[in-house]
Structures are given as structure tokens and as C-alpha cells.
Amino acid sequence: MRPELKSSNGALGRVVAGAVNDRNSYTQPGYPAPYGAPGYGAPEVRTMTMDDVVVRTVILLAITGVSGAASWLLLPPSIGWPVAAGAALIGLVVGLVISFKQVTNPIVISVYAVLQGIFLGVFSRAFESFYNGIVLQAVIATFGIFFGMAMLYKFKVIRNSPRFTKVVVGALFGLVALMLVNFVAGFFTESGIGIRAGMTGKVSWLPIVFSIAVIVVGALSFVLDFDMIEQGIQHGMPEKYAWAMGFGLLVGLIFLYMEVLRMISYLRR
């Protein structure tokens, strides 16, 4: 029985859920000839490699970065936030479609990267206006955490296991649920349930602790994603799923970057 591929990143997990079956459909003994054509062999399908995943991830990060820089420079503050909010909402819909429909089309995934870049450009500019240099600090910290987790995984300091998966997934869902509760509560009270603080002003201990928890869980979630990529390569997933892997890593990096940006703003007050 083939082991099931799992990930704490729902975007990555759903997109690749059927990938191994996709690959096996071309490699099973006695592969049926299309339209009954005699002697027709199975089509050649190039399998995914680590280089494929790296290249696709870099491409998506570049698209996000260029889109973010454009929105930062070209969108005036008066319309920046409305445009960013619209991009974030459409991006959420596109991301859900990619996840639930198991989309591996590079154009659709690139559209998601563009939309996220538009939002991140405005979001980052707002923090930079209060804290000079904070965006560069957050970018360096985010990629530092990512590559640090990659090294810990590579040298087997941290490895995935069923228990590890349950803990990380449970913690991630719990944190996201608290964010949603805080968002809804914000319509009725000024500070929601107190787990977030504004861009300026005094910060209590609760937002700092919550932000640390989000960063830790976000970092640990990469271990599950690295494990899924490794398993996917071992199982001979088709090359097109490298876009799905890149999409999943992009989602995780954006999530981590936004939280690191918040955390640095807390520490600089």
C-alpha cells in the first residue's frame, strides 16, 4: 500500500493529493491503449525533481516580489488599501480554487502570486512608513527561518512523523481559528480578543506571545512540506506538480513574512 502524502499546508496537501495516482495511471502494467489502438505504449511522463521545485518556487517568488514592488511604487495611499483589499480577497478565492480543484496550471498559480504581491506591497509600505527598514529586516528574517528549517530537515535534526503532523496541524488550525475570532470580535471591541496590536502604540505581552507562537508553528510547518516534496519525488510525481509544490511553499512564506513583519514592529516600539 502506498503511503499517504500529508502536509500541514492545506494548499499544498490538496493540490498534490491525487498526484501519485496521476503518475501511476500512466505506469501500471497493461496500460490500456487509447481508442483500442494496438501496440500503443504508455506516454512518457517526466517525473518531478528537486530542481523543478526550486525553479518554480523562485519564479513564483520573483513574480510576487515584482508585483509587490509595483504596487508599493505605483499605488497612491488614497487607493492603495482598497486595491490591496480587493487583491487579497480575489487572491483568497484563487488560492482556494487552486487547492480544492488541484490546479497545477502555471498561469493560474502565477495570477495568485501577482495578487498576493499587490496586497503585500501595500501592506509592507504601511509598516515601512512607521518603521524605517522593517521590510528588509522581515524579508531577511523570513528567508533565514525558511533556510534554517531546510537545513534542519536536510541533516535530519527535525523529521516528520504522524505525531509531529498531528501537533503541527492542530496548532496551525487553532491559531488560525483564534485569528478569525479576533477579526470578528474586532467589529464589536476596539482590540478584539487582544491577540493583535495596531501598527503603532503600546504593545502588551499577549500579542507578542501570540506572534511568537504563529512564527514557531509556521516554521515547523515547512518540515511537513519538505517531507511531502521528498515523498513526491520518491513516488515519481509528474513534473507539472512542481508548480503545486512551489505554490504551497509560497503560501507558507507569505504567511510567515506577514507574521515576522508584525513581530519586528512589536519589538521596535
Residue type present at position 31:
Y
Distances (CA, A) of 9 to 84, 197, 268: 24, 26, 30
% the chain with pLDDT above 90: 70
pLDDT tens column, 64-80? 999 999 999 999 988 99
Q: Does residue 149 surpass a pLDDT of 90?
A: yes
Whether residue 126 lies inside any domain: the answer is: yes
Domain span holding position 258? 10-22+44-267
Compute φ and ψ for 155, nearest 5 degrees. Answer: -90, 15
Whether residue 194 lies inside any domain: the answer is: yes
Torsion, Cα of 51, 57, 60, 65 (10° steps) = -120
Whether residue 131 lies inside any domain: the answer is: yes
% the chain with pLDDT above 70: 84
Q: Does residue 138 surpass a pLDDT of 80?
A: yes
Q: How many domains does the chain have?
A: 1
Whether residue 183 lies inside any domain: the answer is: yes
Average pLDDT of the chain? 86
Whether residue 215 lies inside any domain: the answer is: yes
Whether residue 94 lies inside any domain: the answer is: yes
pLDDT tens column, 192-223? 898 898 877 788 899 999 999 999 999 999 99
Rounded to two decimals, the pTM is 0.84
**The pLDDT of residue 198:** 80
Q: Are 175 and 214 in contact (CB under 8 A)?
A: yes
**The pLDDT of residue 23:** 54
Whether residue 205 lies inside any domain: the answer is: yes
